[in-house]
Amino acid sequence: MNIQKENLRICRKGHKYYKSSSCPTCPTCEQEHKPDNGFLSTLSAPARRALENNEITSLQQLSIFSEKEILQFHGMGPASLPKLRAALQAHGLAFKD
């Protein structure tokens, strides 16, 4: 069994946190960046970043893509698709076929 040791890190804003992976994301900064409402607020941080990194911040922008295209974004997984489908449907939209 390979156990990774957590390392103390300090982000550029001065937050201290421990991580065992090479992921540079500060959990405190990530929580501060999380939207309070809207469809992005329902997603995990990696899924939200995947959309934001591809400049998708509205449901109208999301509806331009197919599910297959969305799943190819780094950080986006199949568990996020039901939330995205529901958000689109609630606004009369859908993924591209």
The reported pLDDT for the residue numbered 26 is: 77
- Residue 12 belongs to what domain range? 8-35
For residue 96, give the CATH number of its domain. Answer: 1.10.150.20
Residue 1 lies in a domain: no
Q: Are residues 20 and 45 in the same domain?
A: no
User: Does 80 reside within a domain?
Assistant: yes
- 18 touches 9 (CB < 8 A): yes
Q: Residue 61, Cβ neighbours under 10 Å: how many? A: 12
Number of domains in the chain: 2
Is 70 exceeded by the pLDDT of residue 1? Answer: no
Task: Assess whether pLDDT exceeds 70 at residue 30.
Answer: yes
21 and 42 assigned to the same domain = no
Whether 57 is covered by a domain: the verdict is yes
Same domain, 16 and 42: no
Statement to judge: residues 27 and 51 lie in one domain: no
pLDDT band at 39 (very low <50, low <70, confident <90, very high): very high
Across 77-86, average pLDDT: 96
Q: What is the pTM of this model?
A: 0.73
Spell 69-90 as b/e; 16+ CB within 10 A means b.
Answer: ebeebebbeeebeeebeebbee
pLDDT band at residue 85 using 50, 70 and 90 as cut-offs: very high
Judge if 25 and 55 occupy the same domain.
Answer: no
Say yes or no: 12 and 51 in one domain: no
Between 29 and 53, the higher pLDDT residue: 53
Decide which of 35 and 8 is more confident: 8
